[in-house]
Amino acid sequence: MHSSAAHASTVDDNRSRYLAGAPHIESWFVRANHPTRPRALWLKATIVGRPDGSATADAWCSLFDGEAPRAKGAKASTPLDAATFEPAQQRVDLAGCRFSFDPDAGAATGEAGPFTWDLKWRRLPGALGAPMSLLPTRRMLDVPIPRNKLLTPAPAIRLTGSVTWAGERWSVDDWLGMQGHNWGQSQSPEYAWGQCHFLDASGTPFATVEGASGRVAIGSWVTPILALMEVRRAGRTYRFDRLVDTWNRRADIRFPDWTLKMRGRDGAALLSMRARPDRMVCLGYENPSGSISHCLNSKLATVSLRVDPIDGPGFECFSEHGGALEFLQPHPEPSLPEVV
């Protein structure tokens, strides 16, 4: 995608879909991993709009350290009318935290609990950094079904700056990450989501994968688990998204493991991700109804990927601790520290 077109798409992809007075959830998030060590960070800005017209804005921060016994997380909240969302400037200000989602000059500064951060990022050029939508067509972003929309305005970014927890400072020096955006009327009943960059010996990303599987609520009916995935490598994209191929896909969600076995017009693929509970946090996400959904969150997952294209040789990719992996379920996980 041409850089100016990519910029315009990213601006629109980050536009807030919130309508005052309607049940609504919406999130913008950034994650990044250390180039070599098992360390990662995750930042998120959210809106929760309730049926009674009230709404809250939250800022979240989590740090994942494979060299320490536990991951850490916190959030800061404010009424939505005390926050500012400026789509044209790609800026979100809430609870003393500022996010700028300009794709080529992103930035985040703020504080939540014992965390402070000061970060800047830029999108990687070429196919790895071009905006991504897992849905079969982008037109589905503007129709009622599915109720939950998932976008990745910047799938590959480089971050610099610092993040501090309780006086411990991490220097963020050219970490690799991504920026995402999602929204809907409420949280999905259940999902797993994952994303990973694969690096060569020099630390340069040569491939990326993003996938999701979950149940969709349609009125009072909840679908079986559906799955979508996209792989980018060597300037080529392999998509597993067509509705006619739904029955050729298998998603196995067994915390802390997640597997996608996919088949479609571009060939076949197998994605396996595994997280370690001692490197995870449990985040309590409020729904507009007042119920809480629980996100079991890792940014240090082990990832293996096998793709067998329909018209060429197969290839394999592996990352020891570079995967973002999340599970959503209606109950907390007792072994994980919970942030609500």
Looking at residue 8, its pLDDT comes to: 47
pTM of the model: 0.93
Phi-psi region of 290 (alpha: psi -120 to 50; beta: other; left: phi over 0): left
Give pLDDT tens digits for 186-229.
Answer: 988 889 999 999 999 999 999 999 999 987 766 666 677 889 99
Domain-by-domain residue ranges, the chain? 3-339
Nearest of 249, 6, 299 to residue 136 by alpha carbon? 249
Mean pLDDT, range 234-258, rounded to an integer:
91
What would the DSSP string read from start to end of 96-134?
TEEEE--TTSEEEEEEETTEEEEEEEEEPSSGGGS-EE-
Computed over every residue of the chain, the mean pLDDT equals: 91
**Mean pLDDT throughout 56-83?**
91
Give CA–CA dist 243/247, Å, rounded: 9
pLDDT at 244 over 90: no
Q: Quick one: pLDDT at residue 163?
A: 97
The CA-to-CA distance between both ends of the chain, in Å, stands at 39
Question: How many angstroms separate the CA atoms of 63 and 42, rounded?
Answer: 7
Residue 9 has pLDDT above 60, yes or no: no
pLDDT tens for each residue of 134-157: 988 888 888 877 888 999 999 999
3-state secondary structure of 17: coil
Nearest by Cα to 303 from 261, 274, 262: 274
What's the pLDDT tens digit per position in 309-319? Answer: 999 999 999 99
CATH number of 3-339: 2.40.370.10
Three-state SS sequence of 75-91: EEEEEHHHCEEEHHHCE
Contact 121, 159 (CB under 8 A): yes
